[in-house]
């Protein structure tokens, strides 16, 4: 069964840091791009970042560029999101999602995790 | 950045009837358009990709159409489990962008 399980969320003060993880199973992790998507309370979906299957290419939304870093460890089938200089507006549920096409980066998001909640507040 | 605009924001339809949801892109995204369904407290689920291809396990009552800048998601005969929020998303250009969502509610 294809599965994505996020972890690492929690309460952090403004200006603080947090690292999210996403453990993947049931598919060839290194063959697919991976993304992070977030959803602020009561709001819609916002794409945050993506990384190619090899990890050699990364992409960011302007709202997080320079503060967040996406990475992956294909030997551990795990995706990461390092979040620094956190702001109140980063408060959201963060979902990881896998791409749907082998080798593609600009593709749809096929499988989603259940999400992990990040709250930025003093 | 490509702006995706969905209409209407809320759609009230009776079970068994047809629902038509629209999505417009601020510039052409070719057929690189996906639709997702999200129920309260759940993660989004992929319904349609490539503007018109149903994802694995998605019932045939869901269909997508369009290309370029105008797209439509049609649900032919609404079931109780279809009442949810629907998002379109373009993946033709970076950043990938979502529409603001259409809430499909029971009339």
Chain segment A51-109, per-residue pLDDT in tens: 999 999 999 999 999 999 999 999 999 999 999 999 999 999 999 999 988 888 889 99
List pLDDT tens digits, range B44-64.
Answer: 999 999 999 999 999 999 999
A-contacting residues of B 27-46, CB under 8 Å? 32, 34, 36, 38, 42-46
Looking at chain B, the whole-number percentage of residues with pLDDT higher than 90 is: 99
Q: 3-state class of B34 per DSSP?
A: strand
Alpha helices in chain B (DSSP H): none
Q: Between A45, A62, A112, which is nearest B98 by CB?
A: A45
Residue by residue, DSSP assigns A16-61 as --EEEEEEEESS-GGGS-EEEEEE-TT--EEEEEEE-TTS--EEE-
Q: Between B1, B46, B92, which is nearest A106 by CB?
A: B92
pLDDT at residue number A106: 84
Residue of A56, A100, A120 whose CA lies nearest to B50: A100
pLDDT at residue number A101: 87
CB neighbour list of residue B40: distance below 8 Å, 6 or more residues apart: none
Please list, residue by residue across A54-92, b when 16 or more beta carbons sit within 10 angstroms of its beta carbon and e when fewer do.
ebeeebbbeebeeebbbebeeeebbbbbebeebeeebbb
Contact criterion met (CB < 8 Å) for A47 and B32: no
| Half-sphere CA count of A111, side-chain side, radius 13 A | 21
Contact criterion met (CB < 8 Å) for A44 and B91: no
List pLDDT tens digits, range A2-41.
Answer: 999 999 999 999 999 999 999 999 999 999 999 999 999 9
For residue B101, the chain A residue with the least C-alpha distance is A44
């Amino acid at each position: 069964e294809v599965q994505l399980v996020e972890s690492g969320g929690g309460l952090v003060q403004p200006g603080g840091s947090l690292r999210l993880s996403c453990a993947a199973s049931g598919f060839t992790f290194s063959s697919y791009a991976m993304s992070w998507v977030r959803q602020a309370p009561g709001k819609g979906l916002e794409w945050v970042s993506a990384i190619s299957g090899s990890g050699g290419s990364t992409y960011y939304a302007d709202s997080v560029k320079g503060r967040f870093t996406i990475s992956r460890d294909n030997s551990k089938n795990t995706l990461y999101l390092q979040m620094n200089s956190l702001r109140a507006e980063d408060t959201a549920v963060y979902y990881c999602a896998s791409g749907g096409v082998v080798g593609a980066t600009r593709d749809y998001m096929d499988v989603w995790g259940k999400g992990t909640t990040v709250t930025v507040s003093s | 950045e490509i702006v995706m605009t969905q209409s209407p924001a809320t759609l009230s339809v009776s079970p068994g009837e047809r629902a038509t949801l629209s999505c417009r892109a601020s510039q052409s995204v070719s057929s690189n358009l996906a639709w997702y369904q999200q129920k309260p407290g759940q993660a989004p689920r992929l319904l349609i990709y490539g503007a018109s291809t149903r994802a694995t396990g998605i019932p045939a009552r869901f269909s997508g159409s369009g290309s370029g800048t105008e797209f439509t998601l049609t649900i032919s005969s609404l079931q109780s489990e279809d009442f949810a929020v629907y998002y379109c998303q373009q993946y033709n250009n970076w950043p990938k962008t979502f529409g603001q969502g259409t809430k499909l509610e029971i009339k």
